[in-house]
Amino acid sequence: MKNNINRRRFLQSSALLTAGLSFGSAFASGSYKGALPANNKKRKIGNLEVSALGLGCMNMAGVYNAPQPKDAMVKVIRKAVENGVTFFDTAEVYGPFYSEEIVAEALAPFRKEVNIASKFGFSFNGDQVTGKDSSPQHIRSAVEGMLKRLKIDTLDLCYLHRMDPNTPIEEIAGTVKDLIQEGKVRNSGLSEVSPETIRRAHAVQPVAALQSEYSMIERVMEHDIIPLCEELGIAFVPWGPLCRGMLTGRFDENYVPEPDYRRAGVPYFTPEALKANLKMVDLLKVWADKKNATPAQIALAWLLAQKPFIVPIPGTTNPDHLMENIGAMKIEFKAAELAEIRTAIEKVPTVGFRKPESVFQDL
């Protein structure tokens, strides 16, 4: 009988599945023929060497649920560090500011062992977002705020969160370049921008990382964006690698998004869309049986196997889900298996996702 491990059953044995997991220092280049061994799990982002999986800290401040207690989230982040995660993603807009404060407290004892990414791009009136602003003066003010909240002298990776239509990308990239020269930032990143914007920014200051949504079911970034990252030597950091929880197997076609949180209004979570999109979860369950894993682990392991410069940042507020996600790095695929999965997922019709032409627009 097949051992069909679902997320709930996994939580009972996650410590056993992830025991002994370690991260090495080698970094491969080119497309994978299969996943790297479990002791070879470091990747490069600019001049940083990071764990192949990072931890997204957005939801700790409340997006898909209410803001979480700081002491509980500090424990989750420290558990990640204890199990080899060295890359942590936050932003000033998460909370706003609360996520950065959580990250600061959690990582203070480990500053030399970890890398922290945060993002600018919005203006605020108190704790209310009032618009987009990436003018040079505002960027400097934002970064000073990040450093103060994170209680660090230098930010390892500083992203433009969303493009400001009123500020040329050359001015934005030039300001971050100045901050790098001043020692306040180590690497420059972009999020949800077009290939043209990436090239223009890269010509001013090398872009170390691009962050956009990418998962086994949301693959629009494979059109022009990921190939461009490979061409320019830019790491690709997928947010939503589990498609806002869909690929964990947590939801069925009767799920109704909570009206006060982010999934409400997301096109691929409408009743009609879920009925179609959950066929991808069925496929994940088949491979979970084959690999003695969970659907979430298969989804993450598949991402890691696409390119050696991909660093997913699954977010969680649950320590057991954290360990489940980390366990994905122990799963290996042969070339034939990856080809079989690719053929299968391309046959699954999906509803509510971005169109290929959308990658040519700044969001």
94 is catalytic: yes
Per the residue annotation, which of 94, 98, 159, 214 is the catalytic one?
A: 94
Element (H, E) at 50: strand 48-51
Give 91's contacts (C-beta < 8 A, 6+ positions apart): 58, 99, 100, 118, 119, 159, 161
Q: Is the dihedral of CA 86, 91, 94, 97 positive or negative?
A: positive
The backbone torsions φ and ψ at residue 212, rounded to the nearest 5 degrees and listed phi first, read -155, 165
Torsion of CA 14, 99, 110, 112, to 10 degrees: 120
CA atoms within 13 A on the CB side of 327: 25
CA atoms within 13 A on the CB side of 236: 29
d(CA 273, CA 80): 33
Q: Quick check: 46 and 202 in contact, CB under 8 A?
A: no
Query: Which residue matches tokens 């180590």?
Result: 186
Question: Which of 46, 42, 29, 105 is closest to 73 using CA atoms?
Answer: 105
Give 258's contacts (C-beta < 8 A, 6+ positions apart): 264
DSSP annotation of 88: E
Give 133's contacts (C-beta < 8 A, 6+ positions apart): 121, 122, 123, 164, 166, 167
Q: Which two tokens stand for residue 150?
A: 């994170």
Q: Quick check: 198 and 190 in contact, CB under 8 A?
A: yes
**How many whole angstroms from its chain centre is CA 145?**
23
Q: Quick check: 274 and 201 in contact, CB under 8 A?
A: no
Q: Which residues are catalytic?
A: 94
